[in-house]
A and B are shown apart, each in its own frame.
Chain A
């Protein structure tokens, strides 16, 4: 079961990035999404108009609960026993959209249009959801693996605008593919933002001389799970524990090639596009081309900080270095290390004290709610006390 594990000390940006919705999880084979516009803020302060998905909280698309959209949209986890996935969508955008999952079979009804020279051309890979409309997209034979769901309508624009998300299904409980077991997984969904494209789409100038097409695509922000470094975070199943086997699910919804590279131990690369390799490949980096998914196993890493960075060197936020597509798999041996500095000390106690008695929700997450029961209380203090004085939380 995928929990809403929220990394410590990150409260400040969570709301702005819609992380809450990213972490939202749909276990059922029926998922209710709303496509809508929202804004995201880059580390240098630039606000970018995005299109994204929100999970409809009451599973009733005829009512609007005002949910915040995010890009990537909610992660969808299909249970090993479920062969059917239905995604019900309401389209709050001003143009038609649709949903496809490359690598999963579905009955497709392409939508054509006649262009200015009279040619019949494809606009959507499958049936559309009109602005304001509600439709259902079904996959009746879901295969195990890591996949990206995304818009199947004018994808050069709509996927780039943010209409994408991760969908996974395991072969069996704790087993991603036949013979590939894991204890914890981390989704790393890569994408890019060219702010000029977003401005042109929202401003209605896309397709004009101002921004003719994605042939002029020049991304300036490089994201993992919807945010560039330092805000990029792996999306875990649960808070990593030393010694457990971690499945890294690399995915790309961007238009460019990236090369996620792990600093430290090699990975066993086990699958590509949801297809299990006959033999695992031991590598320190993976070639993540546009639309690709790659699964790799980190075998039993001890506590420590393991960097993952893009060897295509998209490591900048516009003109600023030390940004872009890089993140850390942080494996902390101490539950009481609230600030994540590798030590359980008076600073952690101070955070606990300042949040004492708070009620914690997804909108108001508390870093000091160590046991995740929704309140900062004596139980959390008890956990901190057990670890108090440890200096080796991040030292292998």
Chain B
């Protein structure tokens, strides 16, 4: 970990698809233990930013440093092992598995049972499964999803699936949590539940959270700092109070006034 408290540093990253720029010279930093929100109109490059961090997309230019590791040259599964977990905008659960097994599957990086041990199962692999079940049950408890523990996630309603996906990310015990629109498509009550979980995760475990969200009210309430993207450019950065009154942000969201 770096001494200046910066856990993730996105340094001058550019990304383009067939000539269309998704990100242009974006630089941002996530400090240890903060909730950093990335906001911006549709197509601003928010999800592209997360995909670069996960190395789904390889940036054309720039570097992404997490706790001293350069992520831009690292396979996605190695990045997970460094302690970065993520949820997806469109929910990417293992639909054929139960809630429990989805969370257990996320313990993959913490489990040691190898190929042969898995085939034999009894002994080390079984003991390990039981031990990790304990951890998973605590997360199930925390997210209040005990009642759907053994339900196949493909059959769950949308709001619960979002919650299970958050649980799956938590089961990885990450140091950095990337949340891609965790509250999209939810009603007010579900949104408030989700916001409470995010704040709880932050307070209890001091995890760094990088959050993409459209609901401005919620972002203003829970984020420590906000980065605003528009057409791949970072147009503002600051505390919710500063962003609220930022000229460039208001222009990006409300459009330019046509008065001469």
Answer yes or no: do A and B interact. Answer: no
